[in-house]
Structure 1
Amino acid sequence: MEAKSFNLFDKKMTVHHIYIAEKHNFYGHHGKDPGDYPMIELDEVECEKGMGIIGDRFYNYKPDYKGQITFFSLEVFEDIGKQFGLADLCPSVFRRNIIVSGTDLNSLIGKAFSVQGIDFLGTQEAAPCYWMNGAVAPGAEEAMKGRGGLRAKILTSGTLRKESRTS
């Protein structure tokens, strides 16, 4: 797949939350109970080219892995919370690394883009699975179809930071 360049400026995409997990709760647990490894919220993470987020469960997972980092839309998170009447829903329940606002993540599939000076390649939707029905609410998997977030490869190393914006 040939990547098309697409530059995101900080004004368009804001990083609201950053999460890592040391181990998997759902991935590789089909037919078993989920794990109980928490998502850890951080103010910043080190993204390593071709490897992933240092300290995350997918770091150095396998060569050329398409999900070295995942992005999820704050707008989708808020919509799911409203749709299911979950006022106390936390974005970590979706088990995505970077919660952002200001862009259509699906538009980045197959494209190279930059966030805070770090280059990424959007590879595919982080499609929701049946575990979302238990982690969020019955029907969440269906409600998230086409809105599950973005899997990406890390093309350049750097530090990604949570932002606080009032504008």
Structure 2
Amino acid sequence: MSQESRIVQLLASPAHRFEGRPQDGPAPAPPGELVDRVEIRAGLGIVWDRYFGHPAHRDAAITVIAQESLPPGAGLAEVRRNVLVSGIAVDELLGAVLTLDSGDGPVRLRVRRRANPCAWMDVTIGPGAWRALRGHGGVRCVPLDDGVLRVGPVTFTVSIPDSG
């Protein structure tokens, strides 16, 4: 039996919620940050997201995490990643290009580095989450194409770029 791959949630948030000290709690979530569809721009990220076009985040403009890494009930609002997928082992894809197609054409994401969890995870998910998510906190990617991703079934391919 094969597992269907899906985009479970999408987050495009104009606001940072994890500022200051975790024990003080996160800032309130802006309305409408969990969306059914996101627009992606090559090299820039997700339109309307807090990291869109930000020079310091160009090599990590989009974050992807596997639902299988999260405890039941946790989602993007708790981990502040952009794309929650199921059926794709994203933590194993460092250096690869992940291509996602949710019906509007393929969008290629170059997987640059891990999206390491932080102490906020113990606040937003629960005690022990920070430690449990080490090595499973998702990946930071550079979008290589303009395109659209939608919540729902997704086809994906993984390729390893030539090093020369």
**Range into which the TM-score falls when normalised by the shorter chain:** 0.7 to 0.9
CA distance in 1, matches of 2:56, 2:75: 32
Partner amino acid, structure 1, of 2:92: S
Alignment of 1:74-85 (within 5 A): 74-77=67-70, 80-81=71-72
Q: Residues 57-76 of structure 1: matches in 2 within 5 Å? A: 57-62=50-55, 65-76=58-69
Q: Give the counterpart letter for 1:126 in structure 2.
A: A
What are the within-5 Å matches in structure 2 for residues 41-52 of structure 1?
41-52=34-45
For structure 2, the residue ranges without an aligned partner over 5 or more in a row are 155-164
Tell me, in whole angstroms, the C-alpha distance in 2 between the residues paired with 1:31 and 1:93.
Answer: 16
How many residues in Structure 1 have an aligned counterpart in Structure 2? 145
Task: Tell whether 2:126 aligns with 1:141.
Answer: no
Q: Does the Cα contact within 8 Å between 2:122 and 2:128 map onto a contact in 1?
A: yes
Deviation at 1:150, TM superposition (A): 1.0
> What's the CA shift for 1:13?
3.5
Q: CA RMSD in A?
A: 2.2
1:112 equivalenced with 2:97 (yes/no): yes
Where does residue 6 of structure 1 map in the other structure? none
Q: 1:103 and 1:31 mapped to 2: Cα distance?
A: 32
Distance 1:109-1:90 versus aligned 2 partners, 3 A rule: closer
Question: Which residue, out of 41, 47, 50, partners 1:54?
Answer: 47
Unaligned runs of 5+ residues in structure 1 are: 1-10, 82-87
CA distance in 1, matches of 2:99, 2:153: 19
- Call closer, same or farther: CA 1:22–1:15 in 2, change over 3 Å: same
Whole-angstrom CA distance in 2 between matches of 1:125 and 1:99: 15
Contact 2:118 2:130 (C-alpha < 8 Å) held by counterparts: yes
TM-score, normalised via structure 1 length? 0.78
In 1, Cα distance between equivalents of 2:69 and 2:77: 13
Relative to the length of structure 2, the TM-score reads 0.79
